Amino acid sequence: MKITENEVEELALDMFKEQGYNVLNGLEISPGGSKQERENFKEVVLKQRLLEAAGKINPEIPKDVLEEAVKKVLRVSSQNQILDNEQFHKLLIEGVPVSFRRGQEIKHDFVNLIDFENSEKNEFLAINQFTIIEEKYNRRPDIILFVNGLPLVVMELKNLAEEKATINDAFTQLQNYKDQIPSLFRFNEILVISDGTLAEAGTISSSRDWFMAWKTINEEISKNKLGLEVMIKCMLNKAEMFAKSLARQ
């Protein structure tokens, strides 16, 4: 029996919930929403969540220094999408370099945005209905995964009930999003395309040929499972695989 795109989306969100993610509807936290967290629809980072997470991960860093580090993360330094993405990835993996006075001494340190050693110290959100408006475009990716307020994973799901819709259409849609809502992709680490059965992952610089299914050595998970389920339970599993997947992009 074929299922619709909305049903694939709900299935994915249920699986993320099982993996310990918090699941939110983007309408709630958008401007005018009941739990507003975004100042405008172009804003793609949940800044308060990022600042709070940075404070927990870096308790020795003064709050004003943390705030400056967050501003540095949000600052776009060029018009080159790939270069900006690479610069963000460096900050994500190595930390944001900061300097501050402590007593008579100037300290040089790094503000870590993610705790790669203990995944439970990070906040994982799976959000659907997250509208982004940039220039003349109004777009809403199917699911965005946020870690500590950063939109690190974008997922595009296609409709199995529509015979002409394929996983290739999901890839094409993400390429359109890169052109239409480029602010989102400065912070992207992983792109996922799926038709509910097949699921493949790549990066913003990956051609179609470089999107690959996740290969797991866990036969219990992979046996008779849909590709989307394998990817969520293995590659995007926050407790075991997620931070490792990010670190090796």
Chain position carrying tokens 């694939």 = 8
pLDDT of residue 2: 56
Share of the chain above pLDDT 90, in %: 71
Residue 237 has pLDDT above 80, yes or no: yes
pLDDT of residue 249: 52
Residue 239 has pLDDT above 90, yes or no: no
Q: In the numeric block, which tokens belong to residue 113?
A: 């945005």
Distance CA 171, CA 209 (A): 11
Those residues whose C-beta lies under 8 Å from the C-beta of residue 221, and which sit 6 or more positions away, are 229, 230, 233, 234
Q: How confident is the model at residue 216 (pLDDT cuts 50, 70, 90)?
A: low
pLDDT of residue 241: 53
225 against 51, higher pLDDT: 51
Mean pLDDT of the chain: 89
Walk me through the domains of the chain, giving residue ranges and CATH numbers. 5-37+119-247 (3.90.1570.50), 47-111 (no CATH)
Facing residues of 137 across strands? 134
Q: How confident is the model at residue 101 (pLDDT cuts 50, 70, 90)?
A: confident
Report pTM: 0.92
User: Which three-class secondary structure state does DSSP give residue 211?
Assistant: coil
pLDDT digits 0-9 by tens, 108-155: 999 999 998 888 899 999 999 999 999 999 999 999 999 999 999 999
134 against 101, higher pLDDT: 134
pLDDT of residue 125: 97
Neighbours of 214 (CB within 10 A): 20
pLDDT of residue 6: 80
Q: Among residues 229, 244, 198, which one has the least CA distance to residue 19?
A: 229
Residue 221 has pLDDT above 80, yes or no: no
How many residues can be counted in the chain?
Answer: 249
pLDDT of residue 162: 60
Q: In the numeric block, which tokens belong to residue 96?
A: 């944001």
pLDDT digits 0-9 by tens, 74-100: 997 788 999 999 999 999 999 999 999
Share of the chain above pLDDT 70, in %: 88
Residue 230 has pLDDT above 80, yes or no: yes
